[in-house]
Every structure is written in C-alpha cells, then in structure tokens.
A and B are shown apart, each in its own frame.
Chain A
C-alpha cells in the first residue's frame, strides 16, 4: 500500500513538458479502475462516438445492434430512409428490443411483453392496453433516440445532449482524412460483410497508441516485413511521411506505401494481370482530382485516429477499427474492411486477401500487436516503473511517422476531458488544434 500512498488521487497523469521535450504518462492511466470509470463519464458519455458506416444499413428497415461507449444501441434506417440511433432498451422494463446483430424489419418487438416499436422508434403496439389509465400516451414511450449525425458515410452518436459541437466541428482536422477515404469511390464506399470481432486483455488506450505507432513496425512485425520482402516489396527503415495533430485529440500519420494499394497503386505483389485495370483507375483519379490530390488519395498510406476510439487505417486495405474499453484491463475490438462499392471483383479479392495477410486476429501482424499490448499491461503490474514515455519527435518541427505526435494529441485531449477543462469549448475556437497541424 505504500505505493498507493505515494500517489495522491490528484496527481497529474499526463506530464507534458514541451520545453524539455518530455512527455510522460503515469501508468495508472492504464490500470486504475477509478480512471476507467471516470473515462466512461468524462469521455464516452460526452464525445461523438463512431457507431458504424451507413452502408451497413443500406435499405429501409435495415439495422445493426452493437455496443457503443459501453451502451447497447441500435442503428436503424427507418422506412422513411432516415438513419437513427436508438437505445437498445425497451422503454417499458428495459430488455433489449433487438437481440440480432443485424437484420431488416418493419418494427422491433420487445420479447418480454411484446411492446412493438416502428423502425422509426415510435411505440406502435402495447398488448392489453386497458391496463393503463387515460394519462398513458404511447408518444411518451418511443425508443430513446440518441443525437446522431453522419460525415461522409461515417455515422457517429453522442450521448450528451449538451455536446456543444456539431459532428463536423468535433471532427476538426480529421475531416480531411475522412474525405481522402470517402473520395475513393464515386459510387460510395461500403463495409464488406464479415467483421473481425476480437479483443485484448489490455487497456483500450494501448490499442489506440499502437494503431498510430509506426516506430514499432520493423521491430515487432519482422515476420510481416519478411513476408513483404518475399513478395518483392522492401519497406525502408525510415518510412518517410509525417505525423500530424488534427486537433481535439485526433491525429494521423501519412506516409508512402510500403506495398501495393488495391485502389490504384500497383506493385508486383498484385500480379501482372490486374495491372492495366489498376493503372486505369489511377488515371481516372488524376482526371477527377488533378495529379496532386489523386496521388494523395491513391498513392499514400494513412492511419487516422478519431478521438476517442476510432481508427481508420488506409494502406494495403482499409480497416475501420472500433475499440471499446471493458474496465481498465480489457477491451473489445471490432474491425471491418471498407472498400469502393463498385470495385472490380478480382481487385476486391486481392483487397480481402491482403487485408487478411496483415490485419485481423489471424493476420501476420495484428496478433503480435495484441500480444505486445497485453505484455505492456502485464508489465505495468510492476508499479515501481511509474511512467511511459511518449516524447519522440518533440524535438522536431515536423515529426516523422516514427515519432509519437498523434499519440500525444490523443493524450492531451484525454487529459483535458478527464480533468474538467472543456476541451470542446477551448478547441472550438481553434479548429486547427492547439498544437499545430503540421504540414499541408
């Protein structure tokens, strides 16, 4: 217990000292259940959170049921075509009104007492209604609707009716990167069926950090590097590119591809047969967007962190990774692939194939990420080592992708929200973010 006595509750967790190029995080942030409980109220109850992609609810009545910020919700497209997000809980006694993960319905029926709600959330059926007095009005018992909005196909929700920012304001500089993803198809992007549902016995923030950490790539992922070398792609030790802080906790890395990109960047690993098609696509992007922006869309990799718990990694394939805390020491991970709706079938197969090679719980890289963050979590059991260091690149004007700028942006926003400063109000006045937006 002496260790605990050395750590008064009010001790700062994030120690940010730009003058000394020092940035440290107290490892209580990853291990303390009180911190985890506070994150739910200070962060997940307030921020805009990613729910899903509009392509997951393509037609009237289609829905998905999932947990967001620890709460069961239903994202449904009503018969009127509008996408809404509801609390997945009957307004009568609380049972889940939707126990299938996905489907298409005209109405949701609670299995407990058969209360029935339209796919627009209205209570439309109550068995044996004479059990209620004249003051009972169905209109008072519609499904609880959360405030939701969509940016370029990405649907977000906030559980805070007082959230002062619109979704677009909240996304700040991250919109630039969502645009680069959604611009990849004129027909629209779609989530490919088949989710990779897994997790880790580690704090959720470790996966957020890992997902914007390029520094570890050649060390931890030697086997993937070996695999790429066997296919004729040799990633350099210094990848080039740069990291960016996008404001409000969002960050990104942008860097030259280490391998092919199925949209429009061919390398020999894709085989000669599809080369003309891929190069024709690249030419169409030049026509649509001009050479500079086309190159950025088609010929550049990026990893985008949207605070607090969304990652979009656009490289050998596009993955949308939603990371949910489960107490201090566990997390749930949902990963899906995003692709152009009108993609050539052969190229779609290449995309899926190479997605699986790198990503997911059985890929040649992600399992090592899972294991290493679980290793970090176990390492924190030795509380003598109090801090983790995230200072790489603080000595540079433009941090590289092997630096830790996006992670610092995440932590700075985390610290503001956890300690009561309303980061949302503060940052709204500076849409570029308080810590610079890097190049471009």
Chain B
C-alpha cells in the first residue's frame, strides 16, 4: 500500500527534510572541527549563539548565561579553538553530536523557527562528557538552503558540576 501525500504534506516533508539535512551538516562540520567553513557557509552576519544558565531557563534576557556570542565573538571563539592557544582544547576534543526530534515550530516565509533535541558527546584530556539539551534555531531561508541567525542551546543539566567547563561549541 502506498501512502498518498497531499500537496501540502509533500511540501512539509520536503521542508522538514531540507531542515534536517541542514542541521545534520552543521553537526558534521562542528564534529570535524571545520569551524571556519561552518561560520562562513551556515551562519548569518548577525548570528547570535547563546547557552542560557542552567538555573534560569525561561528565556529572560536580564539573566546571565553561560554563552552569549555575537558574530564577532563567535569568530574569536573559533579562531582561538583553531590556533591551538586553547589549552583545554589542545589536543582537540573528539565530539559526536546526536540530533533528534527535529521539528519546524513555525514557518514565517523568510525564516523558520526550528527545535531539535541534541546530545553532544565530548572526549578529551582523559574525560568523557555528554551535554544534553534542546536546540532553538532561527533559520533564514536562503534559496534552497538556510543560514542560522539565532542558535540557542538550552541545557537540560541542573548544573555542569560533572563537566566543569564548556569549551566546545555545542
């Protein structure tokens, strides 16, 4: 038996597929430390990358988080990670990002609100850590693909007591 998709459903499946492929490619570039490529090809010029505090997760902007990078500081972060001056990422961590539950929350024509679950496994300096959280993306539609304008990673951990630090890009 074949399942007939309506025109609308087929469009939704195609969009979901394209979004998922985009997120998977992003995960692969980050896992492979192809950070400049990621920055140049997948982000907007006004990108924001944020990781809120583990004890304030309601999205209030007056709180202090763990990461709140604009494009310039994210670029700095990347250059530091790549130039081997970062002691805690030298040698570089091995990472494995597992993405699931990809969901398009809203299609606003020029951009999409996308949610996904993520586990980032990180191995380095004799340690293994898993960062578990939720991605909240704002993707700007750019032809057949997208660019990330807003990238928020809401961690589910109560604390980072086990991890100690967050020296990779989630």
Q: Which one of B13-21, B73-81, B140-148 contacts A?
A: B73-81
A165 and B83 alpha carbons, distance in the complex (Å): 51
Output the nearest chain B residue to A353 by Cβ-Cβ distance: B68
Q: Is the CB of A378 within 8 A of B126?
A: yes
Inter-chain contacts of A230 with B (CB < 8 A): 76
Tell yes or no: A7 within 8 A of B by CB.
Answer: no
Task: Report A55 CB to chain B, min CB distance, Å.
Answer: 14
Q: Is A227 an interface residue (CB 8 A)?
A: yes
- What is the size, in residues, of chain A's interface with B at 8 Å between Cβ atoms? 39
CA distance A353 to B63 in the complex (A): 11
Residues of chain A within 8 A (CB-CB) of B164 are: 198-201, 361, 367, 370-371, 374
What residue in chain A is nearest B75 (Cβ atoms)? A230
**Chain B positions 60 through 98: 1 when the CB is less than 8 Å from some CB of chain A, otherwise 0:** 101111111000010011001001011110000000000
A194 / chain B contacts, CB cutoff of 8 Å: 52-53, 55-56, 63-65
A189 within 8 A of partner (CB): no
Contacts of A223 in B (CB 8 A): 80, 83, 85-86
Please tell me which one of the listed residues A192, A355, A360, A368 contacts residue B88 in the complex, with CB atoms under 8 A apart. Answer: A368
Give chain B residues whose Cβ lies under 8 Å from the Cβ of A348: 62
Establish whether residues B64 and A352, one from each chain, have CB atoms under 8 Å apart when the complex forms: yes
Is the CB of A101 closer than 8 A to any CB of chain B?
yes
Q: Is A185 an interface residue (CB 8 A)?
A: no
Check A362 against B80 for contact (C-beta < 8 Å): no
Which of B22-30, B99-107, B113-121, B155-163 contacts its partner?
Answer: B155-163
**Bound Cα distance A196, B87 (Å):** 21
Are B87 and A355 in contact, CB atoms less than 8 angstroms apart? no
In the assembled complex, which residues on chain A have CB atoms less than 8 Å from the CB atom of B167? 362, 367, 371
| Residue from B55, B64, B127, B160 in contact with A355 in the complex, judged by beta carbons closer than 8 Å | B64
Q: Which residues from chain A contact B60 at a C-beta distance below 8 Å?
A: 193
Q: Which of A193, A355, A371 contacts B165 (CB 8 A)?
A: A371
B83 partner residues in chain A, CB cutoff 8 A: 223
A222 at the interface (CB under 8 A from B): yes
Residues of chain A with a CB closer than 8 A to B126's CB = 378
12 residue pairs bridging A and B, Cβ less than 8 Å apart: A192-B64, A193-B60, A194-B65, A198-B161, A198-B163, A198-B165, A199-B159, A201-B127, A227-B76, A357-B73, A367-B166, A372-B87
18 more A-B contacts (CB under 8 A) besides A194-B56, A336-B64, A367-B86?
A: A195-B53, A198-B164, A199-B159, A199-B160, A199-B161, A201-B127, A222-B85, A223-B85, A227-B80, A352-B64, A356-B64, A357-B73, A362-B67, A362-B166, A367-B167, A370-B164, A371-B125, A371-B164
The 7 A-B pairs with the shortest beta carbon distances in the complex, nearest first, are A371-B88, A194-B63, A197-B159, A194-B53, A194-B64, A367-B165, A362-B166
Chain A residues close to B by CB (< 8 Å) = 101, 192-201, 220, 222-223, 226-227, 230, 332, 336-337, 348, 352-353, 355-357, 360-362, 364, 366-368, 370-372, 374-375, 378
